[in-house]
């Protein structure tokens, strides 16, 4: 199992989140800030099986590219190994 941590500019977050949900992915959304100008960001945490990582990244890449009118980077992704997952 993997955990994708996606730090997304607010301007593109909704489109990315809706596309992920349409494809059956679930995400936890956390408001965050960062960067030089402290712009609004959203952090998504997405726990998924190993084989679903690349399709999820492709969804994020596609939506980010569609929404990008400049050469700015819209998303930073981290893919982490998950040793254990519990719901209590």
Phi, psi of 66 (to 5 degrees): -65, -35
Rg (CA), the chain: 13
Q: Where are the domains of the chain?
A: 2-81
Token couple for 85: 């997952």
**Cα(first)–Cα(last) distance of the chain, in Å?**
18
Please give the pLDDT value at position 71.
63
pLDDT tens for each residue of 18-41: 999 999 999 999 988 766 556 688
Second-level CATH architecture of 2-81: 2-Layer Sandwich (3.30)
**84 close to 5: Cβ distance less than 8 angstroms:** no
Residues in the chain predicted with pLDDT less than 50, given as ranges, are none
- DSSP label at 53? H
Please give the pLDDT value at position 51.
97
- DSSP label at 51? G
């Amino acid at each position: 199992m993997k955990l994708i941590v996606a730090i997304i500019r607010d301007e593109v977050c909704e489109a990315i989140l809706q596309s992920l949900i349409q494809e059956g992915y679930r995400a936890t959304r956390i408001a965050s800030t960062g960067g030089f100008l402290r712009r609004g960001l959203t952090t998504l945490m997405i726990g998924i099986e190993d084989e679903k990582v690349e399709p999820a990244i492709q969804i994020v890449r596609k939506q980010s590219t569609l929404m990008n009118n400049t050469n700015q980077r819209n998303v930073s992704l981290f893919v982490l190994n998950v040793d254990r997952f519990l719901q209590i």
